[in-house]
Structures are given as C-alpha cells and as structure tokens.
Amino acid sequence: TGQGTQWLSIPVRHTGRFGQPVDAVRVADAAWTKKHWASLSQAYAKAPFFESLAPAVREVYEACREEEYLSAVNRRFIALVAGLLGLSARIVSSRDYAVTGDKNERLVELCRRAGAGAYLSGPAARDYLDETLFTEAGIGVAWMDYSGYPEYPQLHGPFVHAVSVLDLLFSVGPDRAKAYMRPLPREGEGRPCSR
C-alpha cells in the first residue's frame, strides 16, 4: 500500500484447544471477505493487471463468504493462484490419506503416500521438524528461503519481498509472473510435498 505493507487476516473461532487440526479451524465471521477486497482494491486499483484479474479474484472472495472452514478458503485461493499461473499440480487434502503418529511421523507418511522425494517447509518449522525421520524415509527436506527472488516493479515505495503472490500477479500479470518465481525440482529430484 502507499503506507507500507498491510496484513490481511481471517478471523477464526477459538476453541480453546491448542493443536487443533488445520482443517477443523472455522471462520468466525464472513465480513473479512469484504474487508480484504476493499483493501486490495484500494491498494492495487492502479496496478497494471488489477483490472484484468480483479473479476477472478473477487469471485473467489465472494465464494469464500459461504465457506465455514479456513482450509476450504485456503484451497479456493490455492486453486485460483495455480490456475492464473497455469500450474497443473493435483491439489489434495491430508484427509485423503489415513495417517497416524505424531506430527513428524504424519508428515513423513503423507509425503511417502503422495510419492514425494522432498518436503518443502517454512523456516519456522526448524524448531520442531525431525529431519532424521525424513532422511530415513528417503525424503529430502528443503527450507523455504524468501530472499534472492528477482525484484519486479511494485506500485508503492522501495521493493518488498514479503508480500502475497497477488502483488506479483497484479504488478506483472500471469504470463510474466513465472519469471520471478523459483522453478520446481527437475525430473528425478522428486516432487515436493508441503502442508
């Protein structure tokens, strides 16, 4: 935005249960969709590709008003972005696999069943992820690093890396966006598995 980065968050119902499965987290209030859309419209109205992409993005926001679970909201946005970028990856839910064990064992088993040769994780998981379990299963662990991506023209102020992929899409469009992204692993390196 003209005032710097702005967080967009979705209010969720608190159950008092720590460690609740992600797919059990419920959205607290559908009003977030209107607030997000108003913020995006205001921040990106003058972006080169906002007008052409706005109908598709707005349609997902409108559909999310009906979603009860945060995971369903996430899935809609993942599908939107994948479609805009022309990605054909199959999107599945961890519920599609019957896995047991602690969180590390479940992750390893999910990756194994999905046929993954590598697991891509956010840097915060370094505190709890047991890489040994992955190594023993023949699954590599890669840590997401958000630095070093090429800069692209943004609307406001000096370049900021830590923004949504929507910033990239509204700024350069779907056709050029891939030039600013890191490639998937090459054939034989295994498919990455991420939560």
Mean pLDDT per 10-residue segment, the chain (195 residues): 92 76 88 97 97 98 96 95 90 83 89 90 88 94 82 91 93 94 54 51
CB 109 within 8 A of CB 101: yes
- Write down the pLDDT at residue 193: 55
Q: List the chain domain ranges.
A: 22-90+150-180, 95-145
- Write down the pLDDT at residue 186: 44
Closest by CA to 103, choosing from 188, 11, 20, is 20
The pTM (predicted TM-score) of the whole model is 0.82
186: left (phi > 0), else alpha (psi -120 to 50), else beta?
Answer: beta
- Write down the pLDDT at residue 189: 47
